Chain A
């Protein structure tokens, strides 16, 4: 669900691409709407950019299981627990679709995952914030998944076939995530004063981190231009952010919560909502590893990986044994 543009600069070809003609033809084809498939020739920079973006996206999905996973055992009803379990399972599934699509570029999942476990890979900054109350589960569905959908719909048109196809599947499932979140919050907003307060408090904490999910402003995101030429990214960070705010403000009104930005107001001339300045210092702090939960998230994944060694070894040994038994009949 969570693709985020985290990049400070473009990944340039390191001069190994001798074939300028092929490259020009490639860019021409991509602009003409041609879909690139795994075995097609592609510029090295295109491949690297995709590997980085798709693996970051995959990592974000599996890290994204953690904040919500914290609430599975504390879900208030059986219904909500079943929904949350299904949702967290979906996130794991989304991670797998994306790792699988990334592997078509000739990298192994284990290597990508190793980068994550050793803090060499990035993932969406939003998951470095803690889930402090049950309302956070609803707010993640409504706001965080809502922002993710906004990000992901244009990616279904991405020039790389396996990525685009994975995104189609993800977007279909994502819609359930957002709706269950909104419904959960709506139920709480029709409940006691304490429940309403809990929702408002949660919105106050998650609003700005969500707005940051679209990545740095266009003027600071050199990467966007190259991604556009290659048809990887078709809509800019600022456009996505604006679209998200435009659709979310009326939803907040229906829900009856205040968005913690006093500068939000309708701008008749622009046909959009104006909004306040994002605290980019906080964004870069969290992205670079100093958010409230960065260390916990990686620690949790590392623990799961290490404690799973014996399982992975056992299934491989079992598979090998079966083969031997088959052979000897």
Chain B
């Protein structure tokens, strides 16, 4: 840091951490941590989130790079799937005796 910033430290950036617990499974969000860069974020994630065989692969993403949906737009984003019940197999009545369908 330059001299001008010596009395006010810059906060070390926040990263979100995703762990794949075993091959064959997807990465899952486990939490976050602070790191100066992605490489350090991986190292820190190793120390914080996989001390006991919790995973085989780590992803880190700067938290600032994540765009999340707004809970108030829930209707717009998730509403339609409820009123289009014909998208679900249970919507259809089949005659008795039909098999394997």
Contacts and interface: CB of A to CB of B under 8 A. Distances in A.
B48 A319 contact: no
Given A100-B33, A109-B34, A317-B1, A93 B12 contact: no
A318 B40 CA distance: 11
Size bracket, chain B contacts: 20 to 34
A19 interface: no
B98 to A, nearest CB: 39
Interface residues of A, number: 30
A173 B51 CA distance: 10
B96 interface: no
Main secondary structure of the interface of A (DSSP, over half): helix
Contacts of B68: 39
B47 interface: yes
Contacts, number: 54
Given A317-B1, A319-B40, A322-B37, A100 B32 contact: yes
A96 B14 contact: no
Interface of A: 37, 39-41, 86, 89-90, 93, 96-97, 100-101, 103-104, 108-110, 162, 165-166, 173, 309, 312-313, 315-319, 322
17 contacts: A89-B51, A93-B48, A97-B31, A97-B48, A104-B32, A108-B11, A173-B52, A312-B12, A313-B9, A315-B36, A316-B1, A316-B10, A318-B36, A318-B37, A319-B36, A319-B40, A322-B37
